Chains A and B, each alone.
Chain A
């Protein structure tokens, strides 16, 4: 029985690493007792509500990923809005929705001396360091659609209260299912801030006695990728034959799920609801695969984002609660707590009104 060189080497390595561990641990440990949880980013600047909007402001929209159709709508509306007040908007972004992919772009936008960065965060914390750097250099940071940690931006443009979105998704589906049966959620990425907040409110809503006959059996993730969402839907329906309803709170997910259900044996047996755009969902509403879904108007969101960023960059507001500014033709908005600005309640789309919308 010879001890093989490989085994000896492994043992030696292990011993060395352990020795190192002991040596290091001897230096006293740094543990997580001292984490700081600061509130939203604050400047010492005073707001001057009467200040005029600056001309020639450079605004950059940074979506989760460049081919996210929903965020593209927001960004394009925001870029158009920037034209209204003599600013210049552009959209840049990564091709994959990973946490780290946005960081490169933030750094670049800082180098390009943009006046404001509007970001839909893939991860609330991974983008923090570079965003704080941007704010240090007096570049304004506005989050939209998916928030960053509050300390890493000055404003968050929220499409609707997260609670309202989450609870209303469950309420709508429950009505369709007559408050009974197994349901599942098809989400985007596992770490999407907005998705996870909504899902928490959905779970909370389901705890109410009214839903005692409904059961959330699974949450699956389609990564906002059409094909993966399609496959996840397929997997769900195969794994849970008693499934009665699916909530897909993502425009990519609901469209992929509708495409799978449409024309399959599940059509008419499984109710799909969630957040989608009228153009993607029109044919599924018309052919009866989907009865209703909801969303807010992304164009208004982009419009509001641009005006909020401009108000910030012009010194009309600083991001403190209670400050007011005028968002062009949308009228006056007030900054809420934690720098949040709420656009308004979501719209429910069904056969009766879907043809009034084109986005």
Chain B
């Protein structure tokens, strides 16, 4: 018997969802489901490149700060009278630049990604404050805002457009991770970087690409966040990096690299989102919610290790009894 953790998280997600349907008024309403999933759209989007990074044994802690920088830029340029159609590509470029900085520091200077991105977490958040200062900028164009809010859904469903985008990108990320040579090289780098290098994988190039994609998507998440709340601020998305990483770990992606599935990470994000919505609907205090999430995380890190230990012990016992 071998139950994989990511399957377990998927089962747990379905169970929580069904519990919600059965017990809680208003949970199943289209408005609520649209809101619940849209509410984690940015975290979910940033969790995709994060999954690939963690599989390759890397981490990007600067994602939420890049979201904030994207938001601050969107606001400041909009306020300066730029056309929104010009602002978005510029913000994406800044995301790419931020990703390049992370990637270069990791690959050229050879620093560990944890150290580099703790630095750029502060740097990009600081830049966001420089760009926008302490205020908030509002009144974004309805033309675009309506695509981000939870009141606009694909007709007949509860899927909002940021969520649809997430589904599309998640499908692409799943194919990349599990069905391409690039995906296999990520696992190889995460498992044993030197071996991967000697096997002919361009380790530096792959890593750089991952950080660039992460920066790009985080900056875009900044645009989505800004439109969704109708408020551009330098401190938008503060602390989201922890939510993103927690979701990925909850989905059974191994922080040591080399192990994990995209399905697990997606299930992890959705579980955190659905659980938050369900607990809030039932007036469960925030402190308790944090404890629940924490316990889930500890379980997700511990359980696979426990399973391994128990099966090894069984093996030993079986071996001992036959000899």
Q: Are A105 and B280 neighbours in the complex by a CB distance under 8 Å?
A: yes
* Separation of A28 and B85 alpha carbons in the complex (Å): 8
Q: A17-B93, A24-B89 are in contact. Are A128 and B230 (CB under 8 A)?
A: yes
Contact, CB under 8 Å: A104 / B276: yes
What is the size, in residues, of chain B's interface with A at 8 Å between Cβ atoms? 63
Binary interface encoding of chain B residues 205-248 relative to chain A, with 1 for a CB under 8 A from any of its CBs, else 0: 10011001000000000000100111101011111000000000
* Chain A residues within an 8 Å CB radius of B233: 99, 123, 126, 191
B237 / chain A contacts, CB cutoff of 8 Å: 100
Q: Report the minimal beta-carbon distance from B250 to chain A, rounded to whole angstroms.
A: 19
Complex CA–CA separation, A10 to B281 (angstroms): 46
Contact status A99-B236, CB under 8 Å:
yes
Query: Which one of B111-119, B136-144, B166-174 is at the interface?
Result: B136-144
- By the criterion CB–CB under 8 Å, are A31 and B81 in contact? yes
A152 to B280, CA, bound (A): 23
Quick one: which of A79-124 are within 8 Å of B by CB? 90, 92-96, 98-100, 103-105, 107-108, 110-113, 123-124
Which residues of chain A come closer than 8 Å to B90, judged between CB atoms? Answer: 21
Q: Is the CB of B280 within 8 A of A21?
A: no
Known: A31-B83, A32-B81. A10 touches B230 (CB 8 A): no
Question: Which residues from B are CB-within-8-Å of A29?
Answer: 82-86
Residues of B within 8 A of A13 (CB): 96, 212
Q: Is there an interface contact between B89 and A17, defined as CB atoms closer than 8 Å?
A: yes
Q: How would residues 259 to 277 of chain B score, 1 for a CB under 8 Å from any chain A CB and 0 otherwise?
A: 0000000000000000011
Residue B92, interface by CB 8 Å: yes
CB distance from B317 to the nearest CB of A (A): 47
Nearest CB of chain A from residue B141's CB, rounded to whole Å: 5
> Is A348's CB within 8 Å of the partner chain B?
no
B229: which of A27, A93, A105, A126 is its contact (CB, 8 Å)? A126
Within the complex, what minimum Cβ distance (angstroms) separates A30 from chain B?
A: 5
Given the contacts A110-B31, A125-B138, A129-B230, A10 and B143 also touching, CB distance less than 8 Å: no
- Considering the chains assembled together, what is the distance between the CA atoms of A190 and B135 in angstroms? 7
A-B contact count (CB 8 A): 151
Give the contacting residue for B86; candidates A24, A108, A128; CB below 8 A: A24
Chain A residues 15 to 43 lying within 8 A of chain B, measured CB to CB, are 17-18, 20-21, 24-25, 27-37
Query: Closest A-chain residue to B139, C-beta based?
Result: A35
**By CB atoms of chain B within 10 A, which of A21, A96, A110, A124 has the most?**
A21
Q: How many angstroms between the C-alpha atoms of A103 and B36 in the bound complex? A: 11
Among A6, A10, A28, max chain B CB count under 10 A is at A6
A90 contact set on B, CB distance < 8 A: 283
A20, A28, A125, most chain B CB atoms within 10 A = A125
Of A17, A94, A221, which contacts B92 at CB under 8 A? A17
Assembly CA distance A6 to B93 (angstroms):
16
Over the window 280-293 of chain B, the binary record of Cβ atoms lying under 8 Å from chain A Cβ atoms (1 yes, 0 no) is 11010111001000
Verify B107–A6 contact, CB threshold 8 A: yes
Contact indicator B212/A30 (Cβ below 8 Å): no
Determine whether A14 belongs to the interface, using a CB cutoff of 8 Å to chain B. yes
User: What residues on A are CB-neighbors of B85 within 8 Å?
Assistant: 21, 24-25, 27-30
Q: Can you give 23 A-B contacts (C-beta < 8 A)?
A: A6-B204, A13-B212, A18-B89, A21-B85, A21-B89, A28-B83, A28-B85, A30-B85, A32-B79, A32-B141, A34-B141, A95-B287, A95-B290, A100-B225, A107-B31, A110-B31, A111-B26, A111-B281, A112-B26, A123-B229, A133-B31, A191-B235, A221-B134
